[in-house]
């Protein structure tokens, strides 16, 4: 049908215009229509961050069933369009065994979006035989993560916040924050989410927050649920080298050790005479210039952090403990 083909081409042009419409400042693109059912009985539990638009919309069915309305210029409401929004289901896989509160060993299971290149950050409820527990999944790309889960007789609430650090020399400055839900039957799925972008300038930060609340009546009471998920994005220059320098109480140099980013040990044993440690990081700016930053650590500091850049341009924060030997 030539008319239908014309509508498809027009729709593709519109979607392409959205995808290419990132401005120099922070901009939002490709806003998704969230399924009403997901906002009702199903619960928001986190996000799946992707570098590409997660296209789950059933365009063929949408056009087949609404071609007359589209050609006549009739408006199709969000509620009507929502039924064409598809879902990407996660797979429940077995992980290492863990011990429950009584000390008994149970099989640990985890929901993962297999085959998807993305950064998962979500929490969910797992029912495993007679046991039930909350668990969380966070990709290494999520730095400064904070997860809070509250469960009372009156309901439950979750709060997740984390930061994704991006190299200014990387190719990625567009991210799609796709909401992740858990259904009443335990299944976990993602919906297509909106995009957010910014110039890859060191120090530039921007955020995306998803919030949802609901309540349901049962017996003589009400059970509520609230979820707040906040993802921060921050650009930084790419680390190229890390030096750990130890000084004595007279500020005399006693040790200097060089590390490649990502190759820090899990624990640094300070020398007996060490009074303080300076961690020097060499970074590479977009124009190819190298420069260094320095941070000082003393005996009351238990650890320090440094970054390394992955191949996809995401900078991961790595921790290293400090054993002062006291």
d(Cα 249, Cα 276) in Å, to the nearest integer? Answer: 8
Long-range contacts of 88-91 (CB under 8 A, 24+ apart): 88/48, 88/54, 88/56, 88/113, 88/116, 88/178, 88/189, 88/190, 88/191, 89/187, 89/188, 89/189, 90/114, 90/180, 90/187, 90/188, 90/189, 90/190
Percent of the chain with pLDDT over 70: 79
Model pLDDT for residues 250-267, shown as the tens digit of each residue: 999 999 999 999 999 999
Lowest mean pLDDT among 16-30, 164-178, 272-286: 16-30
Q: Residues in the chain, how many?
A: 326
CA 175, 176, 179, 180 torsion-angle sign: negative
Q: In this structure, are 284 and 183 located in the same domain?
A: no
Q: In this structure, are 177 and 315 located in the same domain?
A: no
d(Cα 66, Cα 64) in Å, to the nearest integer? Answer: 6
Q: Is 186 a residue whose pLDDT tops 70?
A: yes
The pLDDT score that the predictor gives to residue 308 is 96
Model pLDDT for residues 49-61, shown as the tens digit of each residue: 999 988 887 777 7
Q: In this structure, are 102 and 203 located in the same domain?
A: yes
Q: Give the residue, 136 or 253, on which the prediction is more confident.
A: 253
Model pLDDT for residues 212-223, shown as the tens digit of each residue: 988 877 767 778
Count of structural domains within the chain? 2
Q: In this structure, are 200 and 312 located in the same domain?
A: no
What value does the mean pLDDT take over residues 154-181?
90
Confidence of residue 300 (pLDDT cuts 50, 70, 90): very high
What interhelical angle do 59-72 and 2-19 show, nearest 10? 110
Model pLDDT for residues 65-90, shown as the tens digit of each residue: 778 777 887 787 766 766 777 889 99
The pLDDT score that the predictor gives to residue 82 is 65
Q: In this structure, are 75 and 224 located in the same domain?
A: yes
Q: Pull the structure tokens for residue 274.
A: 């060490």
What value does the mean pLDDT take over residues 208-232?
86
Residue 157: give the domain boundaries. 2-236
Q: Is 243 a residue whose pLDDT tops 90?
A: yes
* No. of helices (H) and no. of strands (E), the chain: 3, 23
Q: Specify the pairing of strand 221-236 against strand 155-167.
A: parallel
Q: In this structure, are 172 and 265 located in the same domain?
A: no
């Amino acid at each position: 049908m030539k008319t239908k083909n014309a509508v498809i081409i027009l729709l593709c042009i519109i979607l392409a215009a959205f995808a290419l419409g990132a401005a120099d400042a922070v901009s939002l693109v490709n806003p998704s229509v969230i399924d009403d059912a997901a906002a009702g009985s199903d619960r928001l539990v986190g996000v799946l961050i992707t570098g590409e638009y997660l296209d789950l919309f059933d365009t063929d069915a949408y056009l087949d069933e609404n071609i007359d309305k589209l050609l006549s210029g009739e408006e199709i409401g969000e509620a009507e369009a929502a039924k064409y929004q598809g879902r990407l289901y996660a797979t429940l896989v077995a992980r290492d065994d863990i011990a429950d509160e009584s000390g008994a060993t149970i099989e640990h299971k985890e929901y993962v979006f297999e085959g998807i290149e993305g950064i998962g950050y979500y929490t969910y409820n797992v029912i495993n035989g007679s046991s039930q527990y909350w668990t969380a999944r966070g990709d290494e790309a999520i730095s400064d993560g904070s997860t809070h889960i509250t469960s009372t007789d009156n309901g439950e609430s979750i709060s997740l916040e984390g930061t994704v650090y991006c190299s200014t020399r990387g190719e990625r400055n567009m991210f799609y924050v796709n909401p992740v839900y858990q259904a009443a039957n335990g299944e976990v799925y993602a919906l297509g989410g909106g995009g957010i972008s910014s110039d890859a300038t060191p120090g530039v930060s921007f955020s995306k927050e998803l919030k949802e609340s609901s309540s349901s009546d049962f017996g003589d009471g009400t059970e509520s649920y609230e979820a707040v998920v906040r993802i921060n994005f921050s650009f930084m220059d790419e680390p190229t080298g890390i030096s750990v320098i130890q000084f004595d109480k007279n500020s005399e140099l006693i040790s200097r050790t060089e590390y490649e980013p990502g190759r820090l040990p899990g624990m640094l044993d300070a020398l007996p005479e060490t009074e303080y440690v300076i961690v020097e990081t060499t970074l590479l700016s977009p124009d190819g210039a190298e420069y260094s930053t320095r941070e000082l650590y003393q005996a009351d500091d238990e650890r320090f952090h440094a970054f390394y850049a992955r191949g996809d341009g995401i900078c991961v924060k790595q921790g290293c403990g400090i054993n002062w030997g006291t």
